[in-house]
Amino acid sequence: MVVGGGASGCVVAARLASEGDYKVLLLEAGYSNKHPLLDMPPGIFKMINGTKYMRYHKTVAQPHLNNRVHEIPQGHVLGGGSSVNAQVYMRGRPADYDDWHSELRGSNDGVDWDWNAVLPHFRNMEDNNRLNNDLHGSGGALLVSDPGHVDHLSRLFVKSVQGLGEPFTPDFNGKRQRGVGFYQFMNRNGRRSSAAYAYITPQESNPNLTIRLQAEVHSLVIENDTAIGVKYADKSGRIHTVHCTREVVLAAGSLITPKILMLSGIGPREHLEDIGITCKNHLAGVGQNLIDHPEVPITARVKGKHGYYKQGEGWRMLKNGLQFKMFGSGPITSAGVEAGAFVNPTSPNDPPTIQAFCVPIVYVDRDTRDLVQDGYGLTVTTVVVKPKSRGTVKLASANPKDMPLVSPNLLKHSDDMDAMIEGQKFFLRAFDTMPLSEHVDRVMLPDPKEKSDEALRNYCKRFVKTNYHPAGTARMGKDGDPMAVLDPRMRVRGIKGLRVCDLSAMPNINAGNTQAPAMMMGDRCADIIMGHI
């Protein structure tokens, strides 16, 4: 039984049903992924600001951000984030996984988590349209492609960052992460390659796989310290109890997986008892160690009608749709963010501390949209790739219908804030560097008249947002680690027949986008269950 049909859940469910000859029930709280706007790469920008395919978690007030409350959108659809995100294909760097392995060493029970162990999963999943070598695969289920359309502003950004001394990088998943270049994406020929399309669609007629949508899992059924099933509510609200004969795999995401565990009596004893839940298995780390990549925008008005402003409206939408239908080209084949960079502003030859995304629109979070005027513009977002800040996920009550209390603590650690300020300063220089500078009318955010570190610090507090990568809330750890929820085989400690394979299980976050790592973790979980590892 798999709880959660996101990126990792789709992979583990499909592989177990197709290769392991298991009877698999996949329970997904959200909706079907089959919708035209979800299929098209730029559909995210119509979906992000309000749709049933996203679930919007409001944070608790953040004292270090002047009590600001912001949102963490999460996919509420089969395929999870892979069905609604910007589709950037990024694995992180080898050192991320070597660090996992070092942290788990001594109790890994024969499961290695270093780069050499995870690389075959990335390669086997991948069907890359340009690369086929020792780092990239061809013929896998996941379609990975170069951008189908590159906006003029994206090309100017790449040239200007090179003008600042950064090398051009043709493959951010190659031997060198540092530099500026164009991302690869999980799509092909103007259609998204989500985990749902890549893994579930080919199994739709497989009698071993049963999928139930709008099935909100409330809790696990546990007997004799063994997970034997779950309780869930269907779309009408009726409660069902289903049992399994083998295992329950939780893949509901880093905000909902710990909620389900705690509602089932698995988690920090004091917190559970405070809200009236009997603690069946004290695991202090459940809901702790929340990690997310913090992101802050730099937004400028541009000269001329460049970028994607209003390209999805009126006659422009009709023109772009016609070009796509007739020629398979044009803006519809772009995910809306084609270029990016990895840099270390203070020590260029050391591992990058900042990732940047070049978005040829005015792009800010929902709670700050009224602070900047829309129009023809360019946004470069700066992201701290290895944040030290840690947050929490807690229960609001014992009622499964209540959303969890999420406190991400973005930029709370002073090192994260310092890194973000340096990232802002570096990419503000890019706006003043040829050839981009010739096309910039004015920088709108941050205020160009306020350039001090203190001014940037205050600006970051007001505009920081999630990069949509929450992770770590039920992390793997070695024996004896009081905060380790899972062992290295992704098994929940103290409960038999229960694993977690989504981003919750990450000991630390990877340096870059997290969708591909989530799928890798589902793939490894399937191999572990089937005895291949």
**What are the structure tokens assigned to 413, written together?**
């650690």
Residues labelled as active-site residues: 469
User: How many Cβ atoms from other residues are within 10 Å of residue 142's Cβ?
Assistant: 26
Distance CA 480, CA 474 (A): 15
Do 122 and 520 form a contact (C-beta atoms < 8 A)? yes
Find, among 289, 217, 203, the residue nearest to 254 by Cα.
Answer: 289
* Reported confidence tier of residue 38, pLDDT bands at 50, 70, 90: confident
**What are the structure tokens assigned to 265, written together?**
């009596």
Find, among 136, 128, 35, 68, the residue nearest to 366 by Cα.
Answer: 68
Whether residue 522 is predicted with pLDDT greater than 80 in this model: the reply is: yes
525: alpha, beta or left, given left = phi > 0 and alpha = psi -120 to 50? alpha
Each residue's pLDDT tens digit, 488-503: 999 999 999 999 999 9
Which amino acid belongs to residue 262?
M
Number of residues that this document lists for the chain: 533
Q: Average pLDDT, stretch 337-346? A: 97
Q: Average pLDDT, stretch 26-50? A: 78
Q: What's the pLDDT at 308? A: 62
**Stretch among 44-53, 182-191, 280-289, 406-415 having the lowest mean pLDDT:** 44-53
Q: What's the pLDDT at 368? A: 63
* Reported confidence tier of residue 268, pLDDT bands at 50, 70, 90: very high
Query: What is the share, in percent, of the chain residues with pLDDT greater than 70?
Result: 91
Q: Are strands 465-466 and 294-302 parallel, antiparallel or unpaired?
A: antiparallel
pTM: 0.95
User: How many Cβ atoms from other residues are within 10 Å of residue 245's Cβ?
Assistant: 10
φ, ψ of residue 175 to 5 degrees: the values are -75, -20
Each residue's pLDDT tens digit, 101-156: 999 987 656 799 999 999 999 999 999 999 999 999 999 999 999 998 899 999 99
Whether residue 321 is predicted with pLDDT greater than 90 in this model: the reply is: no
Q: What's the pLDDT at 373? A: 74
Whether residue 323 is predicted with pLDDT greater than 70 in this model: the reply is: no
Find, among 198, 194, 220, 225, the residue nearest to 83 by Cα.
Answer: 194
Each residue's pLDDT tens digit, 419-455: 999 999 999 999 999 999 999 999 999 998 888 999 9
Whether residue 286 is predicted with pLDDT greater than 60 in this model: the reply is: yes
Q: Average pLDDT, stretch 281-308? A: 93
Distance CA 428, CA 458 (A): 16
φ, ψ of residue 104 to 5 degrees: the values are -95, -10
The mean pLDDT of the chain is 92
